[in-house]
Structure 1
C-alpha cells in the first residue's frame, strides 16, 4: 500500500482500546487530518472535536510551533535517557518550569510516558516514602468511587469504575474505595484500616472518565484536611484537570489545594507527543535526595525524552502567550449553559459541568434500561451531525480545545441536539 493510500479499515489488524472489536473491525472511523478544533475523515467531512481527542488537545490541532520545536530538537539531540547521571537541556528546563508552576514547596519532577505510568509511579513512590520513614506497613491506597486512574496494574486496582476492574483479579493488594461525595467516608476508612497502614489517597479534582463529576462544594478541601490530620499522602490526579482544563495550570489550584504528589500527562504536551509525570513536594522527595537515601528503582525508558520535553515547552509557551487558561475560565459557563439547555430534550436527564471547560449530559435512565447501547448509538448519531463527543457509561462528555470560540461552543449544543433527535427518531 502506498503512503498516500487509505488503509482498509474493514480488515484492520489494529486492536482498539475499550472497544468491542467484533463491532469495530468492520466500521472503524478513520480520522485523516485536523486543524484547530476541527478533524476531517478520509472523505474530507468536517467534525468539531468537542473532546480534544481524549481530553488533551488543549491548544488545538495542527500548531506549527510544536512541529518546529520537535524538528529542531530532533536535529540536535533526538533521544537519550536520563537514568543515573545523564540529563539533557529540555528535560531540565521542563522540570524547572513545572516545579515553579506547581502548588507545592520545593517541588521535584519525575517524568513518565503518560497518565497511567504516572499513577504507577506515584503509588510506588508513596509506599517507598513510608519505607524510608521507617513505616513499611503503610501500603494501603485509598481512592474514590467512579474514579479513573488509568489501566495499568495500580490504576486498575484503585479504579472506582467497577467495569474497569472486572475480570482481571486482584492486581495489587491493600486498596479501598470511598465515597466521592462524603469526606467523612474517607475519615471512616482511615480509622477502620488504621492510619498507620494507609500510604496515600488518590483523587481527581473533577472526576473525568467516571462520568464527568465536579466535586461538591468543600469536598476537596475537606479530604485534603483529613489527609493532613492523619498524615496520609494526598495525591491529586491531574491527568485531565491540568494545564488549563480547569482554568489553572493545575486543577488543585482552583481549590487552593497543596497536594503531596501530583500526577500529570495529556495537556502538558496537548497530546502532540506522549508525556506524563509526577510532581513531588520537597518533603516527599527529601528522603530520596539526601545523603544516605535509597534510590527510587523505577523508571520508564522514555523518562526525560528530550524531543518530547521540547514539545511540552512549546506547548506551555502557547498556553501562556495566548492566555488559554483565562479562555478556559471565560468559556466554562457558556459551555455549561449550552449543556443545560439540552435538559429539555426527552433523551437527557441531567447536565453536569461548570467547573472547567468540560461537561456532560446524562441520558434518561428509562431509555437506557430499554436500550443499554443507547449511549454509543447517540454518540455515533451526534458524530454524524458533525460533533465528536465521548461516551461515558450513561453520559456523553465534552472537553473541547481551549482555543474554541463562543460560536463553536454553540455548535456543540446544536450537534448534540440534532444527534439525539436522530437517535430517538
Structure 2
C-alpha cells in the first residue's frame, strides 16, 4: 500500500473512531488530523506522509530527552519481562517504585522526601487537593478546605483540577465546577492577601501556583514573588503547593523551577518530564513534616489511590529517564540553549514590529503578538496564523489565545543543540514574514 493510501485510510479511521482531547471536534471530523506522526528521532518527528518537523513543544511540554531513546524502551522491556505491574494497595510495593521515590527525594529541594505516585498531572493535582484537606482534617481543622489558585494557571482536566485552573473557557465546558476553589490575579501579592482576608485563613487549605505558567502563556514568576508567598503562607498557616508538572525535570534550567527562587513548597506536583512522556507517570511530593503528620494522626486506611499508582514499569522508565537527564547534563543544556532561544526571540522582536514581549526561562518561552502602532492586541488573533505558517515550514509550536492573550509558546526537547535552536528561529522568521505580508 502506498504512503498516500495508508495516510488517507488512517485519516478516515481517525475521523470515525478517535475522539481527540482538547481539539475542535468539528474540525477533526471535517478536515482530519493535520499530522499523523509515525516516528521520532531527537528533536524531530516524521508523519505518515514522510514530512519531517522540528518539535518545538516537546509534544505537550514533556518529551524532555527527545524522541527515539531506545534506552527507555529497553528499561521498559526489562521490567515488563520480570514484573510489568503489581498494585500498591494494602501496603504492597515493588522495587522500581521504591527506588524512584528515593531518587526523587534526592533530587527535590529541601525536605520533600515522600512521594504519592499517580498516572499524570491532573491526577497529581486532584491528589494534592485531597491530601491537604485530609491533613487539616487530621489536625482538627476540617474547615480549612479552600484552594486558592491563580488566574491563567492551568492544572489539568479532572473535576478538581479543572476547577483550580484559572482559565475561564475550561469552566464553561460543563456547568458543574467543584466547590471551594478561589482564583486570584496572576503573581499578585496584593490579590492573594485580599483573598486571604476575604475568605479567612481558617477556611483555606492551600495556595496553588505554577512557578512558570505553561498553558496560560508561559508567564514567569517575578523575582521575590514566591519568596513572599512562602512567608504569607507560613504566617497564615496555609500550605503551599507548587505545580511543576510542566516545569519539573530540567525544563527551566534547574531540576525544579522553584529552585530558581530558593523556595521549598509543602507539596510539589510532577508528571510529564519524569518519564519524558514515554509512559504515563506523575506524583505528589510532600515534606517530612506533612508525611509525619499523616502517619502519626491517621488511624485507618488512606482511601485514595489509583490502579497504576507506583506502576513498576512506569517507575523503571522514570529511573532510566532521570539517569539520562543527569548523565547527559541536560538540565544545564536547558539553561544554555534557553539563553540561545531567548536571544533568538529578541532578534525576531527587533525585526518584526508586531512582536510584543518575548520571554524564556530555560527551554520554555513565549512570543506575544501586538498591533505595531497601538501595542494592544489585534482585533483578530495573529498567533494561530503564525503557528500554521510555522507548521507548513516544518516547526510545531502552540498558541495561547484566551484571556486576552495572543501568544506563541515554545518548549523544545532539552537535547536541542545550538544549530537546531537556530533552525527553530529561522523557521519562525519565515513564518512571521509570511504573516506580516497579510497584515
| Bin of the TM-score, shorter chain as denominator length | over 0.9
2:84 to 54, 66, 78: 78
What are the Cα deviations for residues 165-206 of structure 1, in whole angstroms up to 9, with x where unaligned? 124224211111112232122122112211110000000010
Q: Does the CA-based 8 Å contact 2:341-2:363 persist in structure 1?
A: yes
Q: Does the CA-based 8 Å contact 1:91-1:306 persist in structure 2?
A: yes
Deviation at 1:10, TM superposition (A): 4.0
What pairs with 1:209-288 in structure 2 (closer than 5 Å)? 209-288=215-294
Deviation at 1:114, TM superposition (A): 0.2
Deviation at 1:291, TM superposition (A): 6.8
Residue 9 (structure 1) aligns with: 11
Residue 166 (structure 1) aligns with: 172
Residue 428 (structure 2) aligns with: 416
Residue 391 (structure 2) aligns with: 383
Deviation at 1:401, TM superposition (A): 0.6
Deviation at 1:284, TM superposition (A): 1.2
Q: Does the CA-based 8 Å contact 1:104-1:260 persist in structure 2?
A: no
What pairs with 1:42-81 in structure 2 (closer than 5 Å)? 42-81=48-87
Q: Which moved more, 1:386-395 or 1:56-65?
A: 386-395
2:407 to 395, 400, 406: 395
What pairs with 1:3-402 in structure 2 (closer than 5 Å)? 5-6=6-7, 7-11=9-13, 12=15, 13-25=17-29, 26-28=31-33, 29-105=35-111, 107-290=113-296, 292-343=298-349, 344-353=351-360, 355-365=361-371, 369-372=378-381, 374-393=382-401, 394-402=406-414
Q: For this pair of structures, how many residues does the alignment match?
A: 423
Q: Distance in 1 between matches of 2:300 and 2:196?
A: 28
What are the Cα deviations for residues 267-323 of structure 1, in whole angstroms up to 9, with x where unaligned? 000010000000011111223223753432111111111001110000000001011
Q: Does the CA-based 8 Å contact 2:138-2:297 persist in structure 1?
A: no
Q: Does the CA-based 8 Å contact 1:347-1:420 persist in structure 2?
A: no
Deviation at 1:398, TM superposition (A): 0.7
Q: Distance in 2 between matches of 1:20 and 1:424?
A: 26
Q: Distance in 1 between matches of 2:154 and 2:177?
A: 15
Deviation at 1:68, TM superposition (A): 0.5
Q: Distance in 2 between matches of 1:21 and 1:375?
A: 21
Q: Distance in 2 between matches of 1:421 and 1:91?
A: 50
Secondary structure of 1:107's aligned partner: strand
Deviation at 1:378, TM superposition (A): 2.2
Q: CA RMSD in A?
A: 2.0
Deviation at 1:422, TM superposition (A): 2.2
Q: Does the CA-based 8 Å contact 2:112-2:267 persist in structure 1?
A: no
Gap change, CA 1:106 and 1:383, over 3 Å in 2: closer
Q: Does the CA-based 8 Å contact 2:112-2:266 persist in structure 1?
A: no
Q: Distance in 2 between matches of 1:121 and 1:292?
A: 17
Q: Which moved more, 1:113-122 or 1:156-165?
A: 156-165
What are the Cα deviations for residues 94-131 of structure 1, in whole angstroms up to 9, with x where unaligned? 01111121113262100000000000000000111000
Q: Which moved more, 1:166-175 or 1:50-59?
A: 166-175
Structure 1 unaligned blocks of 5 or more: none
Q: Distance in 2 between matches of 1:312 and 1:53?
A: 18
Deviation at 1:418, TM superposition (A): 1.0
TM-score (norm: length of structure 2): 0.92
Secondary structure of 1:290's aligned partner: helix
Deviation at 1:142, TM superposition (A): 0.2
